[in-house]
Chain A
């Protein structure tokens, strides 16, 4: 590849490192020709599977997955033993899903992500239908209520439609942003369609009373629109309206006192007001605190002995903190930071705006989710249900995650970054 050498030799030609290589006009035609050529389907074989893949990203994914499995085993075995009579209950399932997920990830990575343009509407439609089903069949076998929450669907496999909806939204936004290009700074193109799509998806998710997912969806949508070129002032307007509306709803609904109590319980979880249950947060903090600098050692957690409810799910990070200490937790945080950095790097070097927006969306989705999860576990945020990607137990969620990683890797194959 012609430009590869130039970017590495940045000192010679004084090309700003972050600037995409500008192709001279006369070369444009040949580049377009190459593009056409590159778009031809490449047939991968097993030994060529790594061809063009971003190896640092693949390495990060596999490391996170491996650490996640080990910690899931450690965190879940007491719970699994007491409730299922089998310490390996969770790790066996998760391990199988992980293997299947990695295979799926590599398969998807061989597919040209531009194919997704075609599936854009289909995926969006499916996710809307699923979200509606969750609400429509609430409480039935199809949409079971688990732990008081109505956000699952069970059609042979069990999963949260909001996970698919996140991806559908990212895909739709990436598609539209790449389609509208410079028209993004207009209200008609750069704001209205996006706001409409967001309203549909976020509206359906908030009806599930799934606040954390709604927040993440809104945040991703905002980030993509902002990067995509939507004018800042629309956000200011809509943000203000939304904020005022939220405050009004809170103030004039009977939930206001409850919300205040929840906040009080969040600010001081050790002395919560009557009726606010901060058991999980308190146990999480006990676990985190017990870890101190170096941790109690892997497998040695005390809190996982049924003190911390469902330690294999949303609060697995607390067990990591307890067993691996501050150092171990920091390493996991750094792994996630590297993951975000690499994902953003891949996206920015994507061949086209569709790839960039799609990659950023996926990266941000899991990055934000990881940050939110750790915030909840450390009581930085009030307790809400967000799982930790790569770590928390959940087969279909893991499959979804790895499939999206496949898309990200596919983008990396077609990007113009230095390949190792």
Chain B
């Protein structure tokens, strides 16, 4: 070993070793200081975070009850979401195939689809959401049976049920897949209903099973509050039944709406929009609407093609009329470059249009017209103008104005405004003006009020601001500000045209007219309850302001009552219930301006309240674009108003008080005489003021024969002093008669027809001058001799329509 070599080697070795140890381990130590001492806390937090899984505990969504507090309008129930963890499925054991087979059978899904999900490379994938508990049990049994170790997850979820189906659907709204409210009360009170999510925080290893650490922390979910609505299911159902019938009768294209409101508290007792939807299945549109879509789409497609053809023709024309060669070339080029619609374009367009049509139909059926639509209130507003005049003292009931059939402005350059009754109402008082629904009279009142006073009342009645009802999507009203209220605007607004308000604003104003002048706060939720049933919050039934005095309110009620019993509004009349009401027929001027080819469309409405001596409930019925018959609030909305009022008022605890004449027309209840002898029956009927006739086959009309059956049957309606047919044996074929058709005839004709057919009639509505609009037993039905048929009459006179000079 050479010395120099050796010492050199020593030096090199020592240097290299030094470098290795100090540089290598030095750098490493430096990095350890950086990671452990400098950034240790941060990395530790991240490490802990990733191992702590926080599982959301879904709270139960609150239940929605109707005003009775017992009927459930919306309720959540447990359902299950089926998901897979494909990466943890033991494919070697063949679990993927077993899972696909089992799940596809149980869930009724395609085998290939499920298998694809089971084999994909992911840690989580949904299979089906919201399956019922019995399906979950089937899946659990399948897992057990097939000995599937891992891969299927069942997560608890909730599904919303609406036991009454379409009832109050536009009020209730519905929820989405994540249980979030998507419309109506469900949206408005989403926070309250949904409650607070709970959390389960626990330490998990990377594959999600528990670690042997004690990190568990449990924060309980707080269930959502229950809501008790002011809506009464019974009232709501009655309203919907009649509203639907009226909708069919008048064929309103844009549906109809009706609101029942407690005039003193502002509580909404019923609110319905037709055609609505089933919140259990909110995305399904009605079959008719669905069936109409393809035709509509084809029409739009045709339009697009026609437009294309027109453009092509124009280009062709450019070529033909080109003056220079260059221009001709350019035009030819333009024609060649024209982007023609290919068959794919058309298919695509068809698809888009169809989707749009579906979306539009869905939006339409979800729309709560009572709060989201605005309309010209028309003549219903005249009660407001009348109240203004009485309150401000510019007129009294006896103030006289002569209607010549048109209103002429001082400035002759402005076109006059016509009264709907062109010959003119002649000299009339304020009472006559309202009962005749006279436009010039209202204009006269408006001009006397002046724009400042008119606007301040208009504002005070709540027409300038949304009512703030606890429903989503309340529309803003559209009106002329005080500065914009020039002579023409003031004139048209005086009779309810040329400004747009929501039905809910209108009925709130009607309530103010009814209840002594107080503008109440309309509301739909009465109280919130926690899960133990304790009241958390109750609705504020305060009123915003007093608009008119109690005296004016009472006087206006009197006028409206007279209107409802005798004049233009008499179709809203209900015997015994002292109805105060006003019809309204308004033009959809904006719609007309946009689509003149459709012709003028109307909104017909009837607003009123009862009983007149102590107003309790207001009702507004409203149809948008009726197509069948002459558009008239009196004949199209009025009878519906009456039918609803007649049925809901007894339920709501308003007792009927009949006038003498009403009492005479009133239907009575047939007493029960079955099982008695003819003699006894005769005596009983006589005492009760009924006539009788005996149907006897034995020929010997002995008074000691027993009554086997009677017509009308015990408790059924029978006219006052009507006849009860007493049968001594079961009625035979010849005792049946055919019900005649009464519809379209006057009262006398109806009574004659009834006599001929050997049936009896009871009359509702305006029997004195109207005509029969409907009968409860269809014509041609075979009924027992002496049966009672109920006929509804509507008034033929006093039907106003509107002609106005609305720019």
Contact = CB atoms under 8 A, between A and B. Distances in A.
A378 B10 contact: no
Interface in B31-47: 31-33, 35-37, 39-44, 46-47
A329 interface: yes
A354 B27 CA distance: 32
B42 A289 contact: yes
A186 interface: no
A348 B32 contact: no
A356 interface: yes
27 contacts: A19-B7, A20-B1, A182-B2, A223-B16, A227-B16, A228-B9, A286-B44, A286-B46, A286-B50, A287-B47, A289-B41, A290-B48, A302-B47, A302-B213, A305-B205, A306-B205, A306-B206, A326-B32, A330-B29, A333-B25, A333-B28, A344-B13, A367-B21, A367-B24, A374-B28, A375-B27, A378-B28
A321 interface: yes
A86 interface: no
Given A227-B16, A306-B205, A325-B36, A288 B43 contact: yes
Interface string A217-249: 000000100111100000000000000000000
A368 B25 contact: no
A88 interface: no
Interface of B: 1-3, 5-10, 12-14, 16-17, 20-21, 24-25, 27-29, 31-33, 35-37, 39-44, 46-48, 50-51, 203, 205-207, 211, 213
A288 B25 contact: no
CB-CB nearest 5 A-B residue pairs: A289-B43, A305-B205, A371-B24, A306-B206, A286-B47
Residue among B9, B39, B50 with the most chain A CB within 10 A?
Answer: B9
A20 B3 CA distance: 9
B6 A290 contact: no
A287 B40 CA distance: 9
Contacts of A340: 17, 20-21
A325 B44 CA distance: 12
A368 B46 CA distance: 32
A348 B28 contact: no
Contacts of B205: 78, 82, 305-307
Interface in A283-327: 285-293, 302-303, 305-307, 321, 325-326
Question: Chain A's interface: helix, strand, loop or mixed, by majority?
Answer: helix
Nearest to B51: A302
A302 B44 CA distance: 10
Contacts of A285: 35, 43
A337 interface: yes
A375 B28 contact: yes
A352 interface: yes
A41 interface: no
A378 B9 CA distance: 33
A20 B20 contact: no
B12 A307 contact: no
Contacts of A290: 40, 43-44, 47-48
A18 interface: yes
B2 A344 contact: no
Nearest to B35: A288
Interface string A59-82: 000000000000000000010001
Grouping DSSP codes into helix (H, G, I), strand (E, B) and loop, the B interface class, with mixed when no group exceeds half, is helix
B27 A380 contact: yes
A289 B43 CA distance: 5
Interface string A194-220: 000000000000000000000000000
A193 B35 CA distance: 44
B17 A341 contact: yes
B21 A227 contact: no
Which interface residue of A286, A344, A375 has the most chain B CB atoms within 10 A? A286
Contacts of B8: 229
A221 to B, nearest CB: 13
Nearest to B41: A292
Contacts of A337: 21, 25
A288 B207 contact: no
Nearest to B207: A306
Given A182-B5, A293-B36, 8 more contacts: A82-B205, A182-B2, A226-B12, A289-B39, A290-B48, A306-B207, A340-B17, A353-B1
A333 B31 CA distance: 13
A329 B31 CA distance: 12
Contact of A229 (B7, B9, B47): B9
A305 B211 contact: yes
Contacts of A307: 47, 50-51, 205-206
A256 B800 CA distance: 86
A124 interface: no
B51 A305 contact: yes
A5 to B, nearest CB: 21
A30 B516 CA distance: 136
Interface centre among B3, B7, B12, B36 (most CB of A within 10 A): B36
A293 B32 CA distance: 10
Contacts of B9: 227-229, 353, 356
Contacts of B12: 226-227
A182 B2 CA distance: 8
Given A287-B47, A290-B40, A321 B211 contact: no
A22 interface: yes
A364 interface: yes
A6 to B, nearest CB: 16
A336 interface: yes
A287 B24 CA distance: 21
A67 B10 CA distance: 32
B350 to A, nearest CB: 39
Nearest to B7: A19
Contacts of A325: 36
Given A302-B48, A305-B205, A329 B36 contact: yes
A379 interface: yes
B47 A380 contact: no
A102 interface: no
Contacts of A172: none
A360 interface: yes
Contacts of B48: 290, 302
Contacts of A305: 51, 205-206, 211
A380 B24 CA distance: 10
A367 B20 contact: yes
A346 to B, nearest CB: 12
Given A229-B8, A302-B211, A375-B28, A352 B1 contact: yes
A244 B8 CA distance: 31
Contacts of A293: 36-37, 40
B87 to A, nearest CB: 13
Contacts of B25: 333, 336-337, 371, 374
A366 to B, nearest CB: 11
A287 B51 CA distance: 12
Nearest to B21: A337
Contacts of A288: 32, 35-36, 43
A330 B207 contact: no
Contacts of A353: 1, 9
Nearest to A364: B20
Contacts of B46: 286, 289
B235 to A, nearest CB: 61
A223 B16 CA distance: 8
Contacts of A228: 9
Nearest to A308: B206
Contacts of A182: 2, 5
Nearest to B52: A302
Given A306-B205, A348-B10, A380 B43 contact: no
B15 to A, nearest CB: 10
A344 B17 contact: yes
Contacts of B51: 302, 305, 307
A326 B29 CA distance: 9
A55 to B, nearest CB: 21
A325 B207 CA distance: 26
A321 B32 contact: yes
Interface string A165-191: 000000000000000011000000000
